[in-house]
């Protein structure tokens, strides 16, 4: 089934809340979950810079254990969280690349648009920045929804 122009099933593995052992992400259990998910034929994983420990966990459970072409990985930018400059907002991307070890992101979301949060993306001109990253091959699939206009 085609979804968003891709051959990706409409079920993803979200990494916002992962199993923990004594307050630390249980990476061994996450590995088992990733294996079951992939064995079931699903391939889309969704993490975020703002989800503490999730990008490191997905590196260990997925990226270091499976060929890159076997999965799609999405992460998010939350420019409205503690960013006072464009450089701070952009740094989230570099941090995510380093933490996941993925090399690139199949999808990169400008996260939680709406209300006052959209202003941060406007102020930092994140719209043109993600276009640059697409040209560089670091975000091959880019969907932007800005002020009700799909670009």
Distance between CA atoms of residues 106 and 108, nearest Å: 7
Ordered by start, the domain boundaries in the chain are 12-150
Global confidence as pTM: 0.85
Q: Reply yes or no on whether the pLDDT at 143 is more than 70.
A: no
pLDDT tens digits, one per residue of 6-29: 677 778 999 999 999 999 999 999
Distance between CA atoms of residues 92 and 44, nearest Å: 21
15: left (phi over 0), alpha (psi -120 to 50) or beta: alpha
User: Which CATH superfamily hosts domain 12-150?
Assistant: NADP-dependent oxidoreductase domain (3.20.20.100)
């Amino acid at each position: 089934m085609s979804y968003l122009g891709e051959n990706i099933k409409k079920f993803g593995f979200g990494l916002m809340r992962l199993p923990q052992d004594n307050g630390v992400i249980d990476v061994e259990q996450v590995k088992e979950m990733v294996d079951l998910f992939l064995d079931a034929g699903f391939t889309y994983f969704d993490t975020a810079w703002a989800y503490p420990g999730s990008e490191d966990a997905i590196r260990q459970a997925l990226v270091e254990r499976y060929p890159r072409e076997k999965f799609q990985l999405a992460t998010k930018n939350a420019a409205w969280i503690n960013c006072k400059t464009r450089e701070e907002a952009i740094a989230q991307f570099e941090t995510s690349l380093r933490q996941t070890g993925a090399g690139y992101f199949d999808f990169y979301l400008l996260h939680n648009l709406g209300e006052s949060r959209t202003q941060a993306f406007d102020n930092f001109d994140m719209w043109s920045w993600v276009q640059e990253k697409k040209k560089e091959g670091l975000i091959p699939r880019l969907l932007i929804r800005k002020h009700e206009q799909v670009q």
